[in-house]
Structure 1
Amino acid sequence: MHNSWIYLNGKLILGNEASISPYDHGFLYGHGLFETMRVYKGRVFYFAEHVKRLHAGMKILEWPSCPSADELSKAIYQTLQKNDLQEATVRLTISRGMGASRPDPGTCGSPTVIVFAAPIQPLDDDAYERGWSLATVNIRRNLTSPLCAVKAANYLDNIVAKSEAKDKGANEALLLNTMDQVAEGTMCNLFLVVEGRLITPDKKSGLLPGITRNIVLELAQQAEITTEERQVSPEELLGASEIFITSSLLEIMAVTTLDGRKVNQGRKGKMTAFLRRQYQKHIQEWLSIISV
């Protein structure tokens, strides 16, 4: 991967030859944003929605300027074409740029823009049948912070949470918020099924609203499944008939174990399977429209 071509501030260069300034505030302070996107048949899935979230984050952070959607699209597709990638993941990172060696973004110049991509290695069907395990961790989401809605380059909370989950033998962490309500995973949103209703923590719960989360809600509503966005307690999770998580790369993954307890007898549930099929169908429909 380090020998692949990456985009750095307007140029395509080999990854192992790339460098940024040690005074870049993304490096010094984690002052940056990123988006991870899935590429199907050479097309970036829901690119506009990813960029919209990115620009919203820049507005929250009060950046004076930001690359346009057209500029970012060009950078991403140049990178994909240079690496001859059709099925891939692409990571777009934008830092505040180079500035003084103190946390004053007013000293920064133009943002640093980096794009790299890699062939996707999707999990096999058996992995989706087995599902993932979640472990509740000690890290909390601060539901009062506006930064919950920002996909920030500073990922320390997520790294610590993921490490704790791994130490507990789980695939992913379950983070609660500062009111001890369910928030999200380190890289995913969470859904549960209770008495045929599809429930997910609302945006006030301290989560980053995912692109896939929004798609799943729309697909469920189209299928006339009752959906609820609201606060969710850890106790409610214990009584759920199904749990699943969503992300751009995982798509929809069943949760079959939570804190060592089996969910749905350790099997993927019917609604999870149905929504995964609908999601796969939606991808193909999207591709047929976008390629016209």
Structure 2
Amino acid sequence: MYILMNGQLIGEGEGHLSPSGEALFYGYGLFETLKYHNKKIFFLREHLERLTLGCRKLDLQLKIEEALIEEWAYQLIQANQLPTGTLKITCIKSQDHVDVILSIRKNVYTNKDYEQGFKLCFTEVKRNPYSILTYIKSNNYLENLLVRKEALAQGYHEVVFTNVHGKICEGAISNIFFVREGILYTPAVECGILEGIMRNKILEIARGLDLRVEAGGYTEEDLLKAEEVFITNSLLEIMPVVEIEGKQFNLHKNIVTQTLRKQYEDYIGAQQ
């Protein structure tokens, strides 16, 4: 498999990073993960805009135009002959410059996952809504990785974080939505979440359906009283939740979730 590093197409094992760079020492950098299908990258403009904004917030001097990164992305897809999969764009601090690394891999989610739904659990690890990094897709991802690894070992697919004030926030790799009495709820950004590209698309679609949408501060109890729950990210898109720590959700009756999935599929189809 090939990767692209600063515009140069190389083998995965051929890239070299500075052993004394801030990326290695401090995890100084950020990334975007995107889905692509039939060589078409989904929401590339939105991801690149968030990447550029994140670089500014981290004082990463990204001197490469978004249009050139887009060109590199399609070049990498073509070189690897993988027409459908996952694209990752990473920007890291390497002493006096920023390295831009593009890589691709297969998308691991299957139709069976959506038919069966995901199982979620809560974690005692708390989100800090006052942290700068909470709102940036930074390379400081170890906490998410460790918490989700523990959840996977217990038979769950994803975790639910609450913040220091006891309000639900997000998953390790996803944003959270729930439905009660026909209203679609999601934690507000200020609760301490990464504002997902897919989260914003779902909110846009929901409002287009005249679905009542509320973004606010909610508790674990609020989530467990829901009639439907689903999680989102750019790879999962809309993943139904079948269970949260023993509380079951009937995937045959999650009408709002099914409607949003259908509308999203139509939206994507219209973009092709």
Q: Does the alignment reach a TM-score above 0.5?
A: yes
Instruction: With the length of structure 1 as denominator, give the TM-score of the two structures.
Output: 0.89
Is the CA contact 2:52–2:62 (under 8 Å) kept in the aligned structure 1? no
Is the CA contact 1:245–1:254 (under 8 Å) kept in the aligned structure 2? yes
Secondary structure of 1:184 counterpart: coil
Percent identity, please.
Answer: 34
Determine whether 1:118 maps to 2:105.
yes
What is aligned with 1:277?
A: 262
Instruction: Give the count of matched residue pairs.
Output: 272
Query: Any runs of at least 4 consecutive aligned residues in structure 1 with deviations exceeding 6 A, and if so which?
Result: none
Distance of 2:153 and 2:96 partners within structure 1: 41
Determine whether 1:202 maps to 2:188.
yes
Secondary structure of 2:76 counterpart: helix
Determine whether 1:19 maps to 2:16.
yes
What is aligned with 1:262?
A: 248
Distance of 1:172 and 1:233 partners within structure 2: 17
What is aligned with 1:103?
A: none
Deviation for aligned residue 1:13: 0.5
Change (3 A) 1:203 1:66: farther
Secondary structure of 2:155 counterpart: coil
Of 149, 157, 164 in structure 2, the residue corresponding to residue 163 of structure 1 is 149
Secondary structure of 1:111 counterpart: strand
Distance of 1:129 and 1:177 partners within structure 2: 31
Deviation for aligned residue 1:268: 6.0
Instruction: With the length of structure 2 as denominator, give the TM-score of the two structures.
Output: 0.96
Distance of 2:191 and 2:150 partners within structure 1: 21
Is the CA contact 1:128–1:253 (under 8 Å) kept in the aligned structure 2? yes
Distance of 2:108 and 2:230 partners within structure 1: 21
Distance of 2:269 and 2:160 partners within structure 1: 31
Secondary structure of 2:104 counterpart: strand
Of 218, 237, 255 in structure 1, the residue corresponding to residue 223 of structure 2 is 237
Is the CA contact 2:60–2:98 (under 8 Å) kept in the aligned structure 1? no
Of 130, 135, 141 in structure 1, the residue corresponding to residue 121 of structure 2 is 135
Q: Which runs of 5+ in 2 are unaligned?
A: none
Deviation for aligned residue 1:286: 1.2
Q: Over aligned residue pairs, what C-alpha RMSD do you find?
A: 1.4
Deviation for aligned residue 1:189: 0.3
Secondary structure of 1:153 counterpart: coil
